[in-house]
Amino acid sequence: MITLYHARFSGNSHRVHLMLSLLGLPFREVEIDLFKGEHKQPPFLGLNPWGRVPVLADDGLVIRDSLAILVYLAEKYGDDGWYPKEPVERAAVSEWLGIAGDDVVRGPGVAMLTKLLGDYVKADYDDALKRAYTLLKIMDAHLTGRDWLASDRPTIADVACYCYVASAPKGGIDLAPYAQVRQWLRRVEGLSGFVPFINAVPAGSAAA
Amino acid sequence: MITLYHARFSGNSHRVHLMLSLLGLPFREVEIDLFKGEHKQPPFLGLNPWGRVPVLADDGLVIRDSLAILVYLAEKYGDDGWYPKEPVERAAVSEWLGIAGDDVVRGPGVAMLTKLLGDYVKADYDDALKRAYTLLKIMDAHLTGRDWLASDRPTIADVACYCYVASAPKGGIDLAPYAQVRQWLRRVEGLSGFVPFINAVPAGSAAA
């Protein structure tokens, strides 16, 4: 049985939740309360010394890092489409996973967290905006004439990049000029098994 | 023929240079002068709209992102050891690639760049130090009883994490308390084909 230790508030967690749902895999959820700092205390630190969600446990194997989990789930449970073996597509997936782990988080991800949580996060909002608009410009050009980021089918690259781009408007980022990006978001949302990213600050939390 | 567009100054570039050398692959080098901003201008932007080194071109395929290139080279030219297929080792490699792309760069990487380049980089040195010491603590504990980060053999995880950890002292970080990490660095340096990371600021450059 798969167990997902995650937080509904976390976009990195959503990547894994979305992948599990797209693959139709049953799993047990353990919600980690980030606002109570559960991720920085035992017993969670025993699962992940980095103190970060998500963590996936599957049959004794514990995997930290959302992108590592996507690779694992695609290889173990997906067909070749989600993490294609063909070198050109594999390279494109790898490139977009790198962007998902860096620009996507530090751009629209940080912008959204700053808008939602204010001083609770210590981040440079202007830097996040700059990164976000660079990302959107490159992504929009890349998606011109393409339906998906790395292949003619959806891959884990699309799953990894989706949530923070989708929630960019919550970070004060205007997606209106990026028609290709908006169409791609609608395509992801149309996939069978899609689950939305719900990232409202919980009522009564330290940051509410 | 493989062409590597890189900068000797860049740790991300060193990852790829090291991997090519460990695999014994011949390649053509094109040095991109970061201090003249060649990475942010045509023709380089045509190769990589992100304006970052390294870029690898191999037989018509162009790959951006150092970690994506490591996966590509290991799968195309390496034996299974460099990017193991066995799920537990594969998951560990993926986790450490995530750490290489995030904590390793934003910790010791940024600390070193700040020390070497001063105001030329706009970075939060204290934040970099905090990330670096968290990384070193976790890495040292992880390497206790292990020779390599993700397997009983060296993998692309070791290649990816090496250079910025090795050059941490240039960032004002003391490696003395991290005996396991220091031994691991020596192991990487003992691999056949090892090439050192030379990251002195070029004389006469804008940052010198």
Q: How many CB atoms lie within 10 A of CB B186?
A: 10
User: Which pLDDT score, from 0 to 100, does residue A123 have?
Assistant: 85
> How many A/B residue pairs have CB atoms within 8 Å?
78
Supply the CATH classification number for the domain B2-77: 3.40.30.10
Nearest CA distance, A94 vs chain B (angstrom): 5
Q: β-pairing, B55-58 with B61-64?
A: antiparallel
Distance from CA of B203 to the nearest CA of A (A): 30
CB spacing of A95 vs B65 below 8 angstroms: yes
Residues of chain B found within 8 Å of residue A95, distances taken between Cβ atoms: 63-65, 68
What average pLDDT does the segment B71-99 reach?
Answer: 94
Residue of B52, B83, B94 to mutate for A, most A C-beta atoms under 10 A: B94
Structural class in CATH, domain B87-189: mainly alpha
Sign of CA dihedral B165, B101, B107, B34: positive
Q: What is the pLDDT of residues A150-178, one digit of tens each?
A: 999 999 999 999 999 999 999 999 999 99
Q: How far apart are CA B183 and CA B190, in angstroms?
A: 11
Which residues does residue A61 pair with via DSSP β-bridges, in sequence order?
A58
Residue B202 has pLDDT above 70, yes or no: no
Say if CB B135 and CB B103 are below 8 A apart.
yes
Where along chain A do the CATH 3.40.30.10 domains lie?
2-77
Average per-residue pLDDT in chain B? 93
Task: Report d(CA A71, CA A84) in Å as an integer.
Answer: 10
Nearest CA in chain B to A54: B95
pLDDT tens digit sequence for A102-150: 999 999 999 999 998 887 777 889 999 999 999 999 999 999 999 999 9
> H/E/C letters for each residue in A87-143?
HHHHHHHHHHHHHHHCHHHHHHHHHHHHHHHHHHCCCCHHHHHHHHHHHHHHHHHHH
The closest CB to that of B101, out of A72, A102, A141, belongs to A102
Indicate left, alpha or beta for A2 from its phi (over 0: left) and psi (-120 to 50: alpha). beta
Cβ proximity of B32 and B6 under 8 Å: yes
Task: Locate CATH 1.20.1050.10 in chain A.
Answer: 87-189
**pTM of the predicted model, to two decimals?**
0.94
Please give the pLDDT value at position B200.
Answer: 65
A102 to chain B: which residues are within 8 Å by CB? 101-102
Return the DSSP state at B80: T
* Residues from chain A contacting residue B98 (CB–CB below 8 Å): 65, 67-68, 101
Query: Residue B57 CB: number of other CB atoms within 10 A?
Result: 17
Three-state secondary structure call for residue B28: strand
**What value of ipTM does the predicted structure carry?**
0.93
Name the A residues in 61-100 with CB < 8 Å from any B CB.
61, 63-65, 67-68, 71-72, 75-76, 87-88, 90-91, 94-95, 97-99
**The predicted structure's pLDDT at residue B73:** 97
A1 touches B: beta carbon within 8 Å: no
Work out the pLDDT band at B79, boundaries 50, 70, 90: confident
**Residue scoring higher pLDDT (B8 or A40):** A40
